[in-house]
Amino acid sequence: MKKLHQYAMILLAGVLGACSSMSVDDLYSDSFPADFNAQEYLNLHPELRIAQVLDAVDAYNENVKKSLGITAYNAAKNKEDSTEFLSNTATLRAIYVDPFIGGGSEAGWAEFSADVTNLKKLYIYNFVGTSEDLAMLQAVPMDYLAISEQYVMYGRTHGWAYRACSVAENANPTRAAYAMTIVDAQSVGKKAEDFVPDPYTYCRDATGVDRVIFQ
């Protein structure tokens, strides 16, 4: 969950502020690699979609709070609503194992669900005042523009892989080896003005290792 909040902060730092009615081609078109695809980038970084989903839950609950008033909202959230949400094991499991919602896995569910404290973390996915949480989570609109902008404004300069490697690229040097100076510079806490952007682009091989793309 800590990692999740880091990605959420990345998105909330202005990336989500763009007009979603504009096409990706209208913005920063010369900043994308020629073969950039927002869905493929998202497949490599599902945390970005998770951040969008959590943002939607927060916005919905804020509107419910304004509608009901704080007292009624807290009563609904802390009593009936939370009890129903946390008692629906099937929904909790579906949320947890969805790679674009909970980010967990089938293999990890048994251990995760054995601790009631873990299940209560999942409450961040609860829409207050409804029992249709899973359906509403799955129906949150996908903002591909925000995902694409994240790559332009953050991912590219920080060395995030944007697509899967081709068979030939599986033999390319890894980011850790090829761009060691950049990797070291970015791993040390510095002031924003001292940031060193990564000049290379990367793909990810089948084992999860990021490798340099030779243009």
* 158, 186 Cβ separation under 8 angstroms: yes
Q: Give, for 203, the enclosing helix (H) or strand (E).
A: strand 202-204
Q: How confident is the model at residue 13 (pLDDT cuts 50, 70, 90)?
A: very low
**99-114 residue pLDDT tens:** 999 999 999 999 999 9
Q: Is the pLDDT assigned to residue 30 strictly greater than 90?
A: no
Tell me what pLDDT residue 28 has. 54
Tell me what pLDDT residue 18 has. 37
**117-158 residue pLDDT tens:** 999 989 999 999 888 999 999 999 999 999 999 999 999 999
Residue 83 amino acid letter: T
* 170, 205 Cβ separation under 8 angstroms: yes
Tell me what pLDDT residue 84 has. 87
**43-98 residue pLDDT tens:** 999 999 999 999 999 999 999 999 999 999 988 887 767 888 989 999 999 999 99
Q: How confident is the model at residue 174 (pLDDT cuts 50, 70, 90)?
A: very high
Tell me what pLDDT residue 205 has. 98
Q: Is the pLDDT assigned to residue 23 strictly greater than 90?
A: no
Q: Give, for 202, the enclosing helix (H) or strand (E).
A: strand 202-204
Which residue matches tokens 């890894």?
174
CA distance 159 to 211: 10
Short-list 151, 168, 148, 149, CA closest to 159: 151
* 103, 4 Cβ separation under 8 angstroms: yes
Tell me what pLDDT residue 183 has. 87
Q: Is the pLDDT assigned to residue 34 strictly greater than 70?
A: yes
Tell me what pLDDT residue 129 has. 87
Q: Which residue has better confidence, 76 or 12?
A: 76
Ordered strands of the 210-212 beta sheet:
163-164, 202-204, 210-212
**pTM across the whole model:** 0.82
Q: Is the pLDDT assigned to residue 166 strictly greater than 70?
A: yes
Tell me what pLDDT residue 189 has. 67
